[in-house]
Amino acid sequence: MAIGHEAFTHTEGHKRFVQIDHNDLFPYLLVNIGSGVSMIKVDGDGKFQRVSGTNVGGGTYWGLGRLLTKCKSFDELLELSQGGDNRTIDMLVGDIYGGMHYSKIGLSASTIASSFCKANSENKELEDYRPEDISLSLLRMISITLARSVPSCRLTYFAIVYSIPGYNIYAFIL
User: Average of pLDDT values for 149-172?
Assistant: 57
Alpha-carbon torsion angle 91, 94, 95, 96, nearest 10: 100
Range in 37-41, 105-109, 161-165 with the lowest mean pLDDT:
161-165
Confidence of residue 146 (pLDDT cuts 50, 70, 90): confident
Confidence of residue 171 (pLDDT cuts 50, 70, 90): very low
CB 41 within 8 A of CB 49: yes
The β-bridge relationship of strands 28-33 and 170-173 is unpaired
User: Average of pLDDT values for 99-112?
Assistant: 87
CB 53 within 8 A of CB 82: no
* 119-to-61, 106, 123, 145 alpha-carbon distances in Å: 18, 26, 8, 19
Overall pTM surpassing 0.75 (yes/no): yes
Confidence of residue 80 (pLDDT cuts 50, 70, 90): very high
Domain boundaries, the chain: 1-86+132-174, 90-128
At 67 the pLDDT is 97
* More confident position, 2 or 172: 2
Q: How confident is the prediction for the chain on average, in pLDDT?
A: 83
Q: Which CATH code of 3.30.420.40, 3.20.20.140, 3.30.365.10, 3.40.50.720 fits the domain covering 1-86+132-174? A: 3.30.420.40
Confidence of residue 15 (pLDDT cuts 50, 70, 90): confident
- At 24, which amino acid appears? D
Interatomic CA distance for residues 72 and 76, integer angstroms: 7
